[in-house]
Amino acid sequence: MLSIKNLHASIEGTPILRGINLEVKPGEVHAIMGPNGSGKSTLASVLAGREEYEVTEGEVSFLGKDLLELAPEDRAREGVFLAFQYPVEIPGVSSTNFLRTAVNQVREYRGLDALDAVKFLTIMKEKMKLVEIDQKLLSRSLNEGFSGGEKKRNEIFQMAMLEPKLAILDETDSGLDIDALRVVSNGVNKLKSPDNATIVVTHYQRLLDYIVPDYVHVLYKGRIVKSGTKELALELEEKGYDWIKEEVDAAV
Amino acid sequence: MTTITKHKITDLFLQNKPLTQNFENLRKMGLETLEIKGLPALKEEEYKFTQISKRLDQQITNFKAAQPASLNKELIQKAIFEGFEGDIIVFNNGEFVPTLSTVSHQNYSFSLLSDSKSEILGSIAKVENDPFVALNNLSFKDGAFISVPKGKKVEKPIFLLHFNQANQGQVINQRVLIDVAESAEVTFLENTISLDEEVYFSNSVVEVRVAQNSHAHYYRLQNENRKAIVVNNFVTDIHRDATFTSVATQLQGGMLRNNLTMNLLDSGCEGNMYGLYLLNGKTHVDNHTNVDHTKPHADSNELYKGILADSSRGVFNGKIFVRQDAQKTNAFQQNNNILLSEEAIINTKPQLEIWADDVKCSHGCTTGQLDEEALFYLQARGIGKEQARGLLLFAFAGEVMEHISYEPFQLYCTNLIQERLGSKF
Ligand SMILES: Nc1ncnc2c1ncn2[C@@H]1O[C@H](COP(=O)(O)OP(=O)(O)OP(=O)(O)O)[C@@H](O)[C@H]1O
Ligand SMILES: [Mg+2]
């Protein structure tokens, strides 16, 4: 589904990603962990099409298409979804209007009819239950004045509405209390299917008790330096990253 | 005289005889003032960024009053927007057109200034405040007088509809006097239609008295041709417990200068000023606003927002004057701008002069680009770049439109704005 080969990316001339290789197949859950500043969000942003990052080498294909060729909106329409680490507050844009515009543009791209207001609301109500999000939040401007937890919940709600094929969750769990974490992970799990895949970026093993990964990767200094199964996450939880850093730095 | 030569002004002045003694007096005052001060010189602080005299010198070759243009019912029909119900007062190059207007006199009265007995003409907009008031004084032929009697509410808005076109002269003089009596209520709409793409100079003065405990709203749209030179002096005297709200939207013109003044003359009164300028091409818009707090417990609120594209230019100057007597004043001012191109320029300046010590005043101005993070966020959800830009810009601009409480006009302006923002800006 997603195939990343030797991906290098830099920002303002500073290399951040230095040769990422990753294969994700339908139905799989991949966890990406790693110390602060190792490039996790950069990878997520590059996949979503953020223009500030310059891809200097490598390729990414998504369902057979060259992902890097596509505009951010077309990536989303093809089925890539990024849950932002820091969702943006947009005053003056109502959550509902925004979502309806987004859903209908995605549908149009996929050759489906636009949803009318009634249908849209029905689907919205249904998905709201999934992530236990309050109607009141959605009548406000997009993310404006939302708490950290509410923003994260809203990301998952948007994901539910857009039904992506590949979801990239960038620290969706950070800062959530246990109840919110349970709700958010339940939402993600309910949306999982044999046809879609998930990449979860996280610092905390506890998320992986809820969203069980097939693979765990460690990103460090812009490279995936170790891959394993969920046991690797437990080991990291116990021992931290120093041993990996030492291994890598010794090899250089 | 500085730039506009004396004989040009004299031409204008000689064109018609004053219709009343009052007009004659105003003309004298205007002439005296202009003889001393002249029109703003290049270095004149108040007109530093808006070289209107220079523009007039270069572009107005026929400094004479424009003669009435040819108008018809279809033009009026075209200017009416969906949902509008109310009276329309039509002006043709500043002259009232009875045959095309609908004046019901329901809870208000309308007359020509020359027929009115009102003595306040010229006492609200004073010649010393701005040389263009003086120029208007000596050149207007006649004008409109609208009064709302005590305790009456004009249920439907009164629409002042101007048609402008250079015609055997390029100068258009407009003069309007509005008198809202105690505890009365009224809403005005104003729009100006340019009949062609030729340059004209429209110099208007609107004076409004909002008497004790009354409420008045004035919603104005400026969407004139790309050469139009416009100076507007809009002055209101707001009395005890009265509220006046102005919402001014500028979409197009050559060079537009608006001087909006609110004199808060007593306690309990409120002056609200909202403005939106969406500029492209070479349009130059200058909003100079001025609030004068004279007595305790009065409030003023001001929000002006601008989006500037291409090589357009915006000027915002917001003066708040709080006199020593005006304790417990609340005065708020905001000016926010988005620049969409490297060539667009905005000059923004708050000007606070506060002589009382127990007041709440705040002001702020921002100038920035479109929020790229927000743009990416919307795109990452599948919204096309152009539409995402439109959504964000409209979110920014829409806040001003919310203050237009007459819904059909709000919708009309909103549609114009969305059309502009949705297309290439
Ligand atoms: N806009 C930018 N300009 C310059 N450097 C940047 C920019 N964005 C990120 N970086 C740098 O790139 C590196 C990787 O950042 P990134 O946000 O991808 O890390 P991360 O692994 O997601 O970290 P965290 O765990 O803190 O979220 C960091 O050193 C960061 O300082
Ligand atoms: Mg990160």
Model pLDDT, residue A252:
67
The reply to whether B413 falls in a domain is yes
Q: Indicate whether B423 pLDDT > 60.
A: no
The percentage of residues in chain B with a pLDDT greater than 90, rounded to a whole number, is 88
Model pLDDT, residue A165:
95
Distance from CA of B289 to the nearest CA of A (A): 26
pLDDT per position as a tens digit, B54-80: 999 899 988 889 999 999 999 999 999
* Residues B378, A102: C-beta atoms closer than 8 Å: yes
Nearest neighbour of A102 by CB, restricted to B373, B381, B392: B381
Q: CA-nearest residue of chain A to B374?
A: A88
| CATH at A68 | 3.40.50.300
Range of the domain at B389: 372-425
Q: Give chain A's contact residues with B (Cβ, < 8 Å).
A: 48-52, 71-73, 75-77, 81-82, 84, 87-88, 90-93, 98-99, 101-103, 105-106, 109, 141, 158, 162
| β-bridge pairing B255-264 and B330-339 | unpaired
For atom 28 of ligand 1, the residue with the nearest CA is A37
Is A62 within 8 Å of A166 (Cβ atoms)? yes
Model pLDDT, residue B425:
44
**Phi, psi (degrees; rounded to nearest 5) at A154:** -65, -35
* A11 C-beta closer than 6 A to ligand 1: yes
Q: How many pairs of residues across A and B have Cβ atoms under 8 Å apart?
A: 76
The reply to whether B87 falls in a domain is no
Which residues of chain A make contact with B398, given a CB cutoff of 8 A? Answer: 92
The total number of structural domains in chain B stands at: 1
The end-to-end CA distance of chain B, in Å, is 40
* Residues A88, B377: C-beta atoms closer than 8 Å: yes
Range of the domain at A154: 2-251
Q: Which atom of ligand 1 is nearest to the CA of A42?
A: 18
* Residues A158, B398: C-beta atoms closer than 8 Å: no
Nearest neighbour of B395 by CB, restricted to A81, A92, A103: A92
Model pLDDT, residue B390:
92
Model pLDDT, residue B14:
67
Residue-by-residue pLDDT tens, chain A, 252 positions: 999 999 999 999 999 999 999 999 999 999 999 999 999 999 999 999 999 999 999 999 999 999 999 999 999 999 999 999 999 999 999 899 899 999 999 999 999 999 999 999 999 999 998 888 888 888 899 999 998 888 999 999 999 999 999 999 999 988 888 888 888 898 889 888 999 999 999 988 888 889 999 999 999 999 999 899 989 988 888 888 888 888 888 876
Interval between CA A43 and ligand 1 midpoint (Å)? 10
Is A207 within 8 Å of A4 (Cβ atoms)? no
The reply to whether B397 falls in a domain is yes
Interval between CA A38 and ligand 1 midpoint (Å)? 7
In a mutational test of the pocket of ligand 1, which residue from A7, A11, A17 has the highest number of ligand atoms less than 8 Å from its CB?
A11
pLDDT per position as a tens digit, B202-249: 999 999 999 999 999 999 999 999 999 999 999 999 999 999 999 999
Burial code (b: 16+ CB inside 10 Å, e: under 16) for A72-98 equals: bbbbbbbbbbbbbbebbbbbbbbbbeb
Interval between CA A180 and ligand 2 midpoint (Å)? 20
| β-bridge pairing B330-339 and B360-368 | parallel
The total number of structural domains in chain A stands at: 1
Is B52 within 8 Å of B229 (Cβ atoms)? yes
Distance, in Å, from the CA atom of B73 to the CA atom of A84, rounded to the nearest integer, reads: 56
Distance from CA of A25 to the nearest CA of B (A): 22
Q: Is residue B277 classed as helix, strand or coil in its secondary structure?
A: strand
For atom 30 of ligand 1, the residue with the nearest CA is A37
